[in-house]
Amino acid sequence: MHAITGITGQVGSQVAKELLSSGHQIRAVLRDERKARAWRELGCEIALAAMNDAAALTRAFTGAEAVFVLLPANFDPSPGFTETKGIVEALFTALSAARPGRVVALSTIGAQAAQENLLSQLQIMERRFEDLSLPVAFLRPAWFMENAAWDIAGAKELGVLPAFLQPVDKPVPMVATRDVAAAAAQMLEQEWSGRKVLELEGPHRVTPSEIALTLSSLLRRDVQTQPVPRSTWETLFRSQGMKNPGPRIRMLDGFNEGWLEFASKPEHIRKGPTSISTVLRSLVEQSGC
Ligand SMILES: NC(=O)c1ccc[n+]([C@@H]2O[C@H](COP(=O)([O-])OP(=O)(O)OC[C@H]3O[C@@H](n4cnc5c(N)ncnc54)[C@H](OP(=O)(O)O)[C@@H]3O)[C@@H](O)[C@H]2O)c1
């Protein structure tokens, strides 16, 4: 049996469906009983556990052949990443107690970066999990192509794609979440010892200009990138309710300045097959635009 956290989210749901389609038994680890029914109907066991509840997570992981773990995204962390450290500690305690056969943890491109930024949360997880005396694999995907979902309505209504990734013709490593899930499912099925890292991107690197051009064709209207000036980000993010926008700004700086990159040599980075145009087409269809 494989225990899957984050199963109601974009990566976890696809990991579970991949494994179900290969005949595996799944334990859906979720925090909200109201979301359990759909997974019960697919034949999953259900374990209710919030990510900071070590006792509930221990029950959820006990008896699992393999566990898929992710950190809920937190774009507005407290200084010092207090919430993340609490979740990582709860996961560490639960994995140490339950001792599943192996762990696949969803990390990120740039988890190894020395400069503090939003992705340091994944580095905190990786470093703590190094102390687990279990086989642990860190899956480090690129920027999710599905992040473009935030931009579809504005592109359709205003013909504008606000760009924080700059310059807009600079290619950025991106990957489709379906390819992330496929890689995770494959890792969960494998056996290994010790620690391993898999870095993953899509078939080619993507520029904001390419996203705008593709959306122009899908939405049948002109869509232009509009770089958001770096000097306005802090005020903008605070006006959107963020209390601590620094780590997010430093993450964007990291991609733009090139210090958030893969650690491996290019020939060792796995390439998923799904293109940005395939993902954008799905996002446009789902948005009803
Ligand atoms: N976006 C990117 O470009 C990118 C790139 C690389 C890596 N990543 C990493 O990918 C991860 C996010 O994956 P995703 O996009 O699949 O996530 P997602 O779609 O946002 O889903 C988050 C999942 O976590 C669950 N969750 C949230 N808070 C929880 C809590 N306190 N206790 C228990 N469950 C909780 C959610 O459950 P509910 O349904 O109950 O909310 C949901 O199942 C993050 O760690 C992020 O750093 C993201």
Say whether the peptide bond before residue 167 is cis (omega within 30 degrees of 0). yes
Any ligand 1 atom below 6 A from CB of 106? yes
> What are the sequence ranges of the domains in the chain?
2-145+175-203+261-273
Q: Which two tokens stand for residue 188?
A: 């969960």
Rounded distance from Cα 6 to ligand 1 centre (Å): 6
Q: How confident is the model at residue 145 (pLDDT cuts 50, 70, 90)?
A: very high
Rounded distance from Cα 289 to ligand 1 centre (Å): 25
Q: What is the pLDDT of residues 48-94, one digit of tens each?
A: 999 999 999 999 999 999 999 999 999 999 999 999 999 999 999 99
State yes or no: pLDDT of 141 exceeds 90.
yes
Q: What is the Cα–Cα distance from 9 to 188, expressed in whole angstroms?
A: 18
Rounded distance from Cα 8 to ligand 1 centre (Å): 9
User: Can you give the pTM of this predicted structure?
Assistant: 0.98
Q: What is the pLDDT of residues 9-32, one digit of tens each?
A: 999 999 999 999 999 999 999 999
Q: Please give the single-letter amino acid code of residue 54.
A: A
Any ligand 1 atom below 6 A from CB of 176? no
State yes or no: pLDDT of 289 exceeds 80.
no
* CATH for 2-145+175-203+261-273 (1.20.1250.20, 3.40.980.10, 3.40.50.720, 3.30.300.30): 3.40.50.720
Any ligand 1 atom below 6 A from CB of 159? no
